[in-house]
Amino acid sequence: MLAVMSSITALVLAAFVSYGGAWYIGLVEGNFALLLFLATVVTGVYWLAERLYFLPQRKRAAEQLQVSVTQRRSELSSQGLRTDEVDLDKARNSLLLQPWWLDWTAGLFPVIVVVFVLRSFLFEPFKIPSGSMIPTLMINDLILVNKFHYGVRLPVLNTKIFDNHSPERGDVMVFRYPPKPSLDYIKRVVGLPGDEVAYLNKKLSVNGKPLDKSALPEFFDEDALRYTKQYQEVAADGQRQYRILNEDDRPSFVQATEDFPFRENCRYSSEGVVCKVPPGHYFMMGDNRDNSLDSRFWGFVPEKNIVGKAFFVWMNFGNLKRIGGFD
C-alpha cells in the first residue's frame, strides 16, 4: 500500500513539475488559478487521508510496538534475564514519522489552502510588466489587487457569486485580456456600459463632455532618459484626479485595430476613435496614452473578465519610494 502511494505521488508531483516547466518555456499556455486550485484539491485529499487513515495507522503501530516491548521486558524480567536494550522512543518516532510523499502533499496543504483563499477571494499580487500605466504605475511595480471590491467570484470559473461595488470611471482595474483571457491586463476605466467615449486629437470626452485636463511639469522617464508632457485629468464623474502622459509627435489616429465583438459600436477616423460602450462592458485606457494597447485597439472588456481593483504598490526593488497607494 505504502509503495503504491509513493509511486502515485511521484507521478502526481512529476505532472505538476512538467506542467510548470512547459509553461515556463512557453510550450503550453499556463493557468495559475487552475494550477493552484488543483494543488489545493490534491494536497487536501492527502491531508484528509493522513488525518483519517495513515496517521491513526502509524499511531496504532507505535502503540503495538510499545505494548510488545513492555510485555517482552516483563517476561524476561520474571525469568531473571537481562532485558534487551531497545531504544523504544527512537523506534516509536520512526514509526510515527511522516513518509516523504505525505510530507510533500499533506504537509503543504495548510500553506497552499491559505494562499488559495487569499489569492482567490481577498488580494492577489501582480507585477507591472510594461509602461502603459506610467506615470501612475511604473515598470516592475509590485501591486496588490482587491479581489472582492467588484464582487466575490469563483476561482478558475470566474463566475460572480456575490455582488459588491460596480466599476467606476477612473478605477485602475485588472482584467483578463479579451483576445487572450489567460493574460491579465491593467488599465484605467474610462467608459461604463452605455457611455459614448470619444478620444479625438488626444482629447478624451465621455457622453459629449470633455474631461478637464490641466498641464503639469513634464515627466522624466528614467528608463528612456527623456521628458514627456504630463497632464492632470479629472474622471468624467468629477470625483477622481490622475496623471496622464501625451506625446506631441505621435499621431492621433488608432493604428492596426483588431476585429473584436461590438466593433460596429466604434467609428475610426484620422482624428481618433468614438465608441458606444455596450451593456455589460467597459472601455479601458492606459495613462500613458500614446504607449498603451487598450480598448481603442482590441475593444471592450466584458464584466465576466474583471479580476479586481488595483490599489497599492507594496514593493519596487529599484525604488522603495514607490511603495504606497495610488488613484
- In the block, cell 511595480 appears at 141
Alpha-carbon distance of 264 to 308, in angstroms, equals 28
Residue 77 falls in the annotated catalytic set: no
Q: State the DSSP string of 167-227.
A: P-TT-EEEEE-TTSTTSEEEEEEEE-TT-EEEEETTEEEETTEEPPEEEEEEEEETTTTEE
**Cα atoms in the 13 Å half-sphere on the side-chain side of 266:** 25
Residue 132 falls in the annotated catalytic set: yes
Is 243 in a helix, a strand, or coil? Answer: strand
Please, are residues 165 and 180 in contact by the beta-carbon 8 Å criterion? no
**Cα atoms in the 13 Å half-sphere on the side-chain side of 49:** 17
Catalytic residue among 132, 147, 292, 295: 132
Contacts of 303 (CB under 8 A, 6+ apart): 280, 281, 282
Please, are residues 128 and 314 in contact by the beta-carbon 8 Å criterion? no
Which is nearest to 308 in space by CA: 194, 138, 153, 115? Answer: 153
Catalytic residue among 6, 74, 182, 187: 187
Alpha-carbon distance of 297 to 279, in angstroms, equals 19
- In the block, cell 509503495 appears at 3
Cell numbers for 248: 506631441
Contacts of 70 (CB under 8 A, 6+ apart): none
Cell numbers for 229: 508632457
Read off the DSSP letter of residue 32: H
Please, are residues 175 and 185 in contact by the beta-carbon 8 Å criterion? yes
- Which residues lie across from 214 on neighbouring strands? 232
Q: What residues are labeled active site? A: 132, 187
